[in-house]
Amino acid sequence: MAAIVQNVLKPKDGRAFEVDCTASPAGSLRAGADSLSVTIGQRVRRLGGEEMWHSVTIQCWEEEGGELMVRVLVCNPDWDRPVQVACIRSQPKIDSQTSGMELLRCNLEHIQG
């Protein structure tokens, strides 16, 4: 059974990230990528009118040493800068089972940024 689950979760190509997005009723997108940037906007009312405010940005890239990083930023029109609310790192080129490394390292500190 473990071999079946491992086969299903195994990446289909060499790309570092995958995005799976459903935007109802417009459609959906599923893609592998070497890097990603996704911005989510939501309707707000300010300055006497409605606008779309980009409130969440997710950035994904590979660092020089092969470490993969996913960074989640939250933006508010009342703030000077976005705030990082999560940074998730992995090192897929290092076998975590033999090296004692965590599969995912999560930093949930809020960082101006």
Mean pLDDT by 10 residues, the chain (113 residues): 56 85 94 95 93 97 94 95 96 71 87 81
Q: Is residue 63 part of a domain?
A: yes
Q: Is residue 64 part of a domain?
A: yes
Q: What is the pLDDT of residue 47?
A: 87
Q: Is residue 59 part of a domain?
A: yes
Q: What is the pLDDT of residue 18?
A: 92
Q: Which residues of 5-38 are buried (b: 16+ CB within 10 A; e: fewer)?
A: eeeeeeeeeeebbeeeeeeeeeeeeeeeeeebee
**Rounded distance between C-alpha atoms, residue 71 and residue 88, angstroms:** 7
Instruction: Identify the domain containing residue 41 by its residue range.
Output: 34-112
Q: Is residue 45 part of a domain?
A: yes
How many domains does the structure of the chain reveal? 1
Q: What is the pLDDT of residue 28?
A: 95
